Amino acid sequence: MRQEIEFVKCDPTQNMTVLVSSEHPSESRSFIAARLMSYDHVHAEQVGFIGAAHSPQAAASLHMAGGEFCGNACMALAAWIASRQELSPGGALELSFDSSGAAQAVACRVRRSDNRYICRVAMPPPRTIERRTFTYEEEQLEAVLVSYEQSFHLILEVELLDEAVRRKAMALARLLGMAPGSKLVGMMLYRRQTNELEPLIYVPALDSLVWERGCGSGTASLGAYLSWSRGQAIAAPIKQPGGVIHVYADCSNGDAMSIAIEGSVGIVAQGRAFIELESLEQGQAQLCMAAGGERQG
């Protein structure tokens, strides 16, 4: 027998995102996400689960498979809601929704442009921004740590985006992902000369390590860093492998940070996916055993 999964697949700056619209127990989300993300299935970089709103002003809720906050998934949900409401070309929509990893409802403005949606999302501000020195294989790495409630991004300024740098970033992401309570670790490789960002995202709960084509939350963290380091508000287009995400940030006053990102979202597929129940049950059992082992340790 098979479990049916209703989904929509979105393209926010080629950061392929699957949103699951059918209801599933929270304990099965990690395994469902892992299957949907795999090459031999729907194939995506991340998975979120749509649910009923928790707060009166919200249109829906979004829970990422790893419990993290994701700016691109928020834009994907906003585009999906706009499409369901049959927003006409040139039309705009203001909405908000609840999201994992965000203490308050997330506000978003959606504008339809032909068959795509231009979304601007107000991002949760970081708790802290600080310069840090990390030791990795006897090498000193200067980086900026942008911390949130249950996740953090490391911004590494580099001159070249080569394989040696990428391998170092992947190893460091896994190492930092071992820290208690970390739901997401982002390694943001930034080339100041060309305003390019190459984002690596590690979600420990899924053991998912992905070089993303475009990263909304990483773009927000980079914008926060640029504003904080310059002591003024900034507005900048950040080039990424999948396109451009715009960031608007004012973190010059640590007590009143303001960050928003804007990008283009396309809806590329919608339908039903299937997961074998036997595989689902085995996956849940493995997750339970892993959790039990962690508690015993």
Residue with tokens 């939350």: 217
Q: Is 70 a catalytic residue?
A: yes
Residue with tokens 């998912």: 208
Q: Is 215 a catalytic residue?
A: yes
Residue with tokens 């580099």: 158
In this structure, the number of other CB atoms found within 10 A of the CB of residue 113 comes to: 10
User: Measured on CA atoms in the order 205, 208, 45, 9, is the torsion positive or negative?
Assistant: negative
CA-nearest of 212, 149, 200 to 175 is: 200
3-state secondary structure 51-75: ECCCCCCCCCEEEECCCCCCHHHHH
Helix (H) or strand (E) holding 265: strand 258-276
**Distance, CA of 19 to CA of 53 (rounded, Å):** 15
- Of the residues 10, 74, 108, 215, only one is catalytic, namely 215
With the CA atoms of 273, 276, 281 and 283 taken in that order, what torsion angle do they form, in degrees rounded to the nearest 10? -70
CA-nearest of 83, 29, 72 to 51 is: 29
- Of the residues 10, 70, 108, 251, only one is catalytic, namely 70
What angle in degrees, to the nearest 10, is found between the helix axes of 277-296 and 29-37? Answer: 120
In this structure, the number of other CB atoms found within 10 A of the CB of residue 111 comes to: 17
Just list the catalytic residues.
70, 215
